[in-house]
Amino acid sequence: DKGGHKHFMAKEIAEQPTVLGEAIRHYLPNDGTQICLPGGDLDFSKVKRLVMVACGTASYACLTAKYWFEQIAGIPVEVDVASEFRYREPPITEGTVALFVSQSGETADTLAALRYCSGKADRIVSVINVPESSIARESDLALPILAGAEIGVASTKAFTCQLSVLLILALKAAQDRGQLGAEELNQHLCDLRALPGLINQAIGSESKISQVAAKLAETRDILFLGRGRMFPLALEGALKLKEISYIHAEAYASGELKHGPIALIDQHVPVVVLAPHDELYDKSISNMQEVMARAGKVLLITDAKGLKDGAEGTWDTIQMPQVSDILSPILYAIPAQLLAYHTAVAKGTDVDQPRNLAKSVTVE
Residue 146 and residue 131 in contact, taking contact as beta carbons nearer than 8 Å: no
SS3 of 27, please?
helix
Of 313, 311, 323, 16, nearest to 164 by C-alpha is 16
Q: Should residue 142 be labelled a site residue for ligand F6R when binding is judged by CB under 6 A?
A: no
CA distance 53 to 102: 9
Site string for ligand F6R, 47-86 (x = CB under 6 A): --------xxxx----------------------------
Nearer to ligand F6R, 106 or 278 (CB): 106
Q: Should residue 133 be labelled a site residue for ligand F6R when binding is judged by CB under 6 A?
A: no
CA torsion 321-325-327-333 (nearest 10°) is 60
Secondary structure letter of residue 314 according to DSSP: -
Nearer to ligand F6R, 21 or 56 (CB): 56
Tally: H helices and E strands in the chain:
13, 10
Q: Should residue 354 be labelled a site residue for ligand F6R when binding is judged by CB under 6 A?
A: no
Residue 60 and residue 155 in contact, taking contact as beta carbons nearer than 8 Å: no
Nearer to ligand F6R, 127 or 327 (CB): 127
Q: Is the dihedral of CA 187, 188, 191, 192 positive or negative?
A: negative
Nearer to ligand F6R, 136 or 265 (CB): 136
Q: Which residue's Cβ lies closest to ligand F6R?
A: 56
Identified binder of ligand F6R from the candidate list 104, 160, 287, 314, rule CB under 6 A: 104
Contacts to ligand F6R from residues 155-194, by CB under 6 A: 155
Tell me how far, at minimum, the Cβ of 102 lies from ligand F6R, in Å.
3
Identified binder of ligand F6R from the candidate list 16, 64, 83, 102, rule CB under 6 A: 102
Q: Which residues fall within 8 angstroms of residue 331, CB to CB, at 6 or more apart?
A: 195, 198, 199, 202, 320, 321, 323
Active site residue 359: yes
Catalytic residues: 359
Interface residue list for ligand F6R (CB under 6 A): 55-58, 102-104, 107, 110, 154-155, 239, 243, 360-361
